[in-house]
Amino acid sequence: MPRIVSTFAVVLTLSALGIAQSSARSTDFRNLAYPWSKSFDRGWASVSDWRWLNERETDLLALRNGRHDFGGGLGGYLQVSSVTFGDLDGDGDDEAAVDLIRGTGGTANWHYLYIFSTRSRAPRVLGILRSGSRAFGGLTAVAIVKGVLVLEFNDPKLSTADCCSDGFIRAQYRFDGTRFIEAAPRQGGVRKD
C-alpha cells in the first residue's frame, strides 16, 4: 500500500506543478493482464525468426510482480525483461514497448514484444511481435527513435552456439494506424563487444 500512496503523491505533485504525465509511464506493466493465446506457444521448435502476431481471439494472462509461471503441460514462465517508451503514433503521447521473455524452464526462450497505447487511459495493444529463440532471431534490443520502433535480433547466420550470435539484424517499424510495417531495409552487422 505505501507504493500506491507514494505514486499518488507524485502524480498530485506533478499536476500541481502543471507538468503533464504520460499515462504510459504511469502504467504498472509488471502487474498487468496481457492478451495471450495458447497458439503463441505452438511451434516453438520451428521458430527461428521473428514475426508480428495476428491473433484475434485471446485470453488474458496476468503478471504479478513482473512474472507469470505456467502450470500443467506448458511449464516455464513469462517475465518482464524491459519497458521502452516513445511516441510511435505521432500524437505527442508515449507508447510503451514491453519486452516479455517466455522461458521454457530450460535453456530455450523467446521474446514477446507488446506495443501499448495508453491514450484512452487503459492500455490498448497496438501490436505483438514474437522473436526467434536466442541465437536464432532472438530479440536483443528495443528502442523508439523519432517515431520509429527499432529492434535488434541475433543473426542466426553468425551464431556461435544455440545461445549466442556474433551478428545482429536491425529492423525498423512504423505504426501506420492499424499495424506495424517495416520502415527501412534491414541492416546487419557484427557485434563489436
Average pLDDT across the chain, whole number: 82
Which of residues 191 and 176 earns the better pLDDT score? 176
Tens digits of per-residue pLDDT, 116-156? 998 776 789 999 999 988 888 899 999 999 999 999 999 98
165 contacts: CB under 8 Å, gap ≥ 6: 135, 154, 155, 156, 158, 159, 191
pLDDT tens digits along 17-63: 333 444 778 899 999 999 998 888 765 555 567 889 987 767 899 99
Q: Who has greater pLDDT, 178 or 75? A: 178
Of 77-91, 118-132, 170-184, the range with the lowest mean pLDDT is 118-132
Which residues does 186 contact at the CB level (< 8 Å), separation at least 6?
Answer: 169, 170, 171
Instruction: Tell me the mean pLDDT in the region 78-97.
Output: 94
Q: List all residues 6 or more positions away from 177 whose beta carbon is below 8 Å from its beta carbon.
A: 89
User: Helix H segments across 92-183?
Assistant: none
- Quote the CA–CA distance of 81 and 109 in Å, as a whole number: 12
